[in-house]
Amino acid sequence: EVQLVESGGGLVQPGRSLKLSCVASGFTFSNYGMNWIRQAPGKGLEWVAYISSGSSYIYYAETVKGRFTISRDNAKNTLYLQMTSLRSEDTALYYCARGTTEGIVFAYWGQGTLVTVSS
C-alpha cells in the first residue's frame, strides 16, 4: 500500500523558514517524480513544486520560486520542501503527492501538514 506521511508543519513568523518532510513507503520511491501541493484554509488546490525521480528536473510555481526549494533523498525514501521568507499567504495545508508516467498527475496524496505563518 502506497503511503506518504508529511511532517514539519507548524506556526512560524513571517520572514522565517521551515522545512517539511514526506516519508514514502509501499512503492519504489526512486522511480517516481514527486510533488508538493498546498491548500489554503477553505480554498482550492495550488501546485507548489515538482522534482523528477533522479532530481534532474525541478519546477516551481511562480508564487514560491526563489523562496522554496524541493529536494529528495532516495536512499531515505524522503521528499523535502525547504521554505524561506515565509509570508502570510503561504499559510496552507501542504500535501506531498506522487506523480505518474502521464505527466504531472497526482495519483497518491499524503494527509498533509499544516503551515501557519503569523506573528
103 binds other proteins (CB under 8 A): yes
Residue closer to other proteins, measured from CB, 16 or 65: 65
Alpha carbons 107 and 34: distance in angstroms, whole number: 10
CB of 8 to other proteins, least distance (A): 17
62 binds other proteins (CB under 8 A): yes
47 binds other proteins (CB under 8 A): yes
Query: How many other CB atoms sit within 10 Å of the CB of residue 24?
Result: 24
Asked if residues 73 and 53 have their Cβ atoms less than 8 Å apart, the reply is: no
112 binds other proteins (CB under 8 A): yes
Grid cell listed for 46? 495550488
